[in-house]
Amino acid sequence: MVKFPDDVELFPIVLSAEQTACAVISPYSFREVFLKTRLKNRHWYCYDVRILSETYIEFSVYGMRDTVTGGKGKFLYAYRLTVNKELTAKHITLRLHKLAKAKRAKELEEKENKIIQKYMNELSVHFGLKPSFKESFRSMILLMMNLILSES
């Protein structure tokens, strides 16, 4: 069984403003809260959201890059606030799903690598090959390298 690495964390969940062909779209599910809580005397163009816990979020507010092409510009200010769990629930569920899928993919990859190694050994015997220590060591190193590369 694959264990989650110690460095896997649920929070923060970062939802960034996305650049489309004709606009920058901030995380829409937080728009109403943002509009009610933003600093009224400050201009803004878009915002990012960091979910810090089920009920605590941070808005990072940005200006427009330029008036010709628009786009996300310089960071202007940030603020944190408490929200209802219902506002963050969908995004937390999506993050949990992504973490669970990654763990399952790792489990399947480990099982597959063991099966492939078994088949390699069977084929070596079938063809009358006796892998030397050097060949066995090389195949083990290649297997480990594949595991490391698949993690990144």
pLDDT digits (tens, 9 = 90+) for 86-131: 999 999 999 999 999 999 999 999 999 888 888 888 888 888 877 6
| Residue 93 is assigned to a structural domain of this protein | no
Matching residue, tokens 């015997």: 125
The range of the structural domain enclosing residue 58 comes to: 13-83
Matching residue, tokens 């195949």: 139
Q: Using the 8-state DSSP alphabet, how is residue 119 labeled?
A: H
Residue 59 and residue 20 in one domain: yes
| Residue 29 is assigned to a structural domain of this protein | yes
Q: What is the pLDDT of residue 17?
A: 97
What's this model's pTM, rounded to 2 decimal places? 0.74
Let me know: does 87 contact 66? Beta carbons within 8 Å: no
| Residue 89 is assigned to a structural domain of this protein | no
Q: What is the dihedral of CA 102, 107, 112, 113, to 10 degrees?
A: 100
Q: What is the pLDDT of residue 33?
A: 98
| Residue 64 is assigned to a structural domain of this protein | yes
Our count of domains for the chain comes to 2
**CA pair distance 23, 72, nearest whole angstrom:** 9
**pLDDT band for position 3 (cuts 50, 70, 90):** low
